[in-house]
Amino acid sequence: MARIVLVGAGSITFAKNLLSDLLTFPELSDSTIVLHDIDQARLDTAEAMARWMVAELGIGARIEAHAERRAAVAEGIRRG
Q: 30-69, pLDDT tens digit by residue?
A: 999 999 999 999 999 999 999 999 999 999 999 999 999 9
pTM over 0.85: yes
Which H helix or E strand runs over 32? strand 32-36
Which H helix or E strand runs over 5? strand 3-7
Measured CA to CA, the distance from residue 7 to residue 73 in angstroms comes to 9
Residue 51: Cβ-neighbour burial (10 angstroms; 0-12, 13-18, 19+): middle
Which of 16-20, 52-56, 58-62, 70-74 is predicted with the least confidence, judged by mean pLDDT? 70-74
Q: Is 3-79 a CATH 3.40.50.450 domain?
A: no
